[in-house]
Amino acid sequence: MSKEGLPDLAEVDARGLKVAVITSTWNAEICDHLHERAVETARANGAQVDQFRVVGALELPVAVQAAARRYDAVVALGCVVRGGTPHFDYVCDSVTQGLTRIALDESTPVGNGILTVNDHQQAVDRAGFEGSVEDKGAEAMLAALDTALQLRRINGLEH
């Protein structure tokens, strides 16, 4: 895991932003913690946050698309663990392409907090637990909030 080059976005002033957090329930221990960290981060930075759950990673894009039409930013969270078949590659590629397309089509920031890992321990190491080296739920939220603020500036809504 590399955090090399990660910007120092400890906080943003997200007051007035409305954000949706949509989390899959597959790999519940990991996803629940990603979700908790994203929600805590949104609230700590002043954003209003609404929470939604879907079954798996493949269900995320359609829910994210609906939310992207109503919110300033959306954060998608999930965990896909590599198995013994090519299914992992198809799921990861499909979800990533879907989330990217939605962000572009809707002009809404989508924080991608989908962990794509080889095993459970890699997921734990990235999910923001005590002792984890990364906190992808919080990082995805900060990235989405910051991008929403930048879009407001670009669109002349804030100076």
Catalytic residue list contains 87: yes
Residue 79 known to bind ligand: yes
Closest CA to 46 of 81, 19, 16, 20: 16
Residue 40 known to bind ligand: no
Residue 112 known to bind ligand: yes
Given 33, 35, 87, 159, the catalytic residue: 87
Residue 59 known to bind ligand: yes
Retrieve residue 4's tokens. 């090399």
Q: Enumerate the known binding-site residues.
A: 26, 57-59, 79-81, 84-85, 112, 126
Q: Enumerate the known binding-site residues for (2S)-2-hydroxy-3-oxobutyl phosphate.
A: 84-85, 126
Catalytically annotated residues: 87
Q: Enumerate the known binding-site residues for 5-amino-6-(D-ribitylamino)uracil.
A: 26, 57-59, 79-81, 112
